[in-house]
Amino acid sequence: MGEGIETTASPTLAASLKWRPRIGLPVLCGLAAFAVFLIGVSGPSFWIDEGHTWGYAHQSLGAILTTTLGSTNAVEAAYYVFLHLWMSVAGDSELALRLPSVFVMAIAVWAVAKTALDTAGTRAAVAAGFVMIALPGVTRYAEEARPYAFMVAAVAISTLLLSRALTRSDGRWWAGYGVALVAVGYFHLVSLLVVAGHLVAVLIIDATKWRRFMMAVMLAGAATLPMVVLGAGQHGQISWIPPETLETLWTGPTELTGSIALTASFGLLVLALGGDRRLLALGVPTALAAPVLLWMAGNFGPIYLGRYLMGATPGIALAVAGALTALRPGRALIAAAVIAGLVIPQQIALRGAAAHGQDYRAAAQYVVSDCSARMITDYQSSDAMHYYLRDQPCSPSETAVSDHLWVVQCDPPQLQEAGYRLVRSESFGRAIASYWVAD
């Protein structure tokens, strides 16, 4: 009887057959964020700035670059070019225009959770991901066709890469950090103020690496210099921002947290609990840099605006997560429940039709009740109204000669039209559509 031949799979092959992709905790946080941000993403109407996004992005690439770089909004050119290319594939529905923001904000949540996991472990990662998703400002700009989500993702990734550069000897992390800063600058120039917070973090965590940090910052600064020059020449675009007061130092961050109560709660948590020192050293300066420095600059010129502080959100999530590591699991869950209770009303309100300020979708439906009228819009309202009127069976003409007209504006007070008397007026959030007839 002959000997049988025994066949066994090689260890390498056997291991490969048993291998399954591992989905880590930060990825789960990112996936959860993506799912949450998709809820009600098409609920709010486009507001004036989203209307301008469509107005720019649906032009040709040459027209986009000529307009933005030559006269207005050079600091948003990269976003408009990206969205133009995206629209050529995905179309220009509300969902299509907002989906990239949803995706990149989910990446921001992943990066924040990954930073917390590397620094302070699993509990910190869960807390950081939870806080980032809970912040009403994060949800608002994850569901908006504007570049702020891209900037937040770039800040979050730069913070992750900085954390790794400070704990590893491989120079690639410093190179990656510099590239991430360039992305911050090209998506939202003033958010580069986060560098000041990062410098403080470097000096606290490992001051011996400040030279490598400065080298990465200088190279990033050289790469963003063209945007600095163009942006400085177009500073008139933000001349409408009101001057600062001491009150706005405290109220400005409410666009991120949703309420002064939550802002104060976060501050008290960090001050009272302490927690993981390295995560706090990374998070607190990152959270404070833009709000404090922009407010100081705002006392000398128009630049301090709530949404310009969005780059602080990764730092807020990291700082609060660092503080929560000082609590036992049961108490940390109670703290999470309190945070959830404070943000849920804002999270619900953010999905309303006028949640972004103006409900031009409803305004367009209103004015088509008389398409024989002439329509006048202020500059702010024109793009959003054209976006929604294109889907209507008819629309009032801007050039028709008529004894009755529609006037659409983005904010009160009511505009007056010489030779006409006001018949009726309706408000759609902060948008106003009024019907006039000739005297």
The predicted model gives 319-328 an average pLDDT of 94
Burial of 146 (0-12, 13-18, 19+ CB in 10 A): buried
The predicted pLDDT at position 37 comes to 98
Mean pLDDT lowest for which of 31-40, 320-329, 398-407?
Answer: 398-407
Q: How many CB atoms lie within 10 A of CB 241?
A: 14
Last-in-domain residue among 349, 371, 406: 349
CA gap 186, 74 in Å, rounded? 9
Q: Is residue 400 part of a domain?
A: yes
Residues 146, 53 contacting (CB under 8 angstroms): yes
Contact 194, 184 (CB under 8 A): yes
Residue type at position 341: G
pLDDT at position 18 over 60: no
Tell me: pLDDT of 3 over 70: no
Characterize the bridge pairing of strands 420-428 and 374-377: unpaired
Residue 218 lies in a domain: yes
Residue 9 falls inside a structural domain: no
Same domain, 320 and 382: no
- What interhelical angle do 48-57 and 61-70 show, nearest 10? 130
Q: Is residue 12 part of a domain?
A: no
In a domain, 315, yes or no: yes
Q: Note whether 76 and 146 are same-domain residues.
A: yes
Confidence of residue 239 (pLDDT cuts 50, 70, 90): low
Residue 4 lies in a domain: no
Question: Whole-angstrom Cα distance, residue 183 to residue 108?
Answer: 13
Q: What angle do CA 190, 186, 212 make, to 5 degrees?
A: 80
Query: ω before 413 within 30° of 0 (cis)?
Result: yes
pLDDT band at 430 (very low <50, low <70, confident <90, very high): very high
376 shares a domain with 334: no
Q: Token match 């869960």: residue?
A: 126
Residue 227 sits in which domain range? Answer: 25-349
User: pLDDT exceeding 70 applies to what percent of the chain?
Assistant: 93
Q: Quick check: is 8 in a domain?
A: no
- Asked which of 188-202, 204-218, 286-300, 353-367 is least confident by mean pLDDT, the reply is 286-300
Distance in angstroms (rounded) separating the CA atoms of residues 92 and 90: 7
Give the angle subtended at the CA of 255 by the CAs of 254 and 258, to the nearest 5°.
60
Residue matched to tokens 């609920």: 43
What is the tally of structural domains in the chain? 2
Q: What is the pLDDT of residues 271-297, one digit of tens each?
A: 988 889 999 999 999 999 999 999 988
Same domain, 414 and 281: no
pLDDT band at 228 (very low <50, low <70, confident <90, very high): confident
Q: Are residues 226 and 291 in the same domain?
A: yes
Q: Do 173 and 44 belong to one domain?
A: yes
pLDDT at 106 over 80: yes
Going from the C-alpha of 191 to that of each of 50, 77, 277, 303, the distances in angstroms are 20, 16, 25, 11
Determine the Cα–Cα distance for residues 112 and 109; give it in Å rounded to an integer.
5
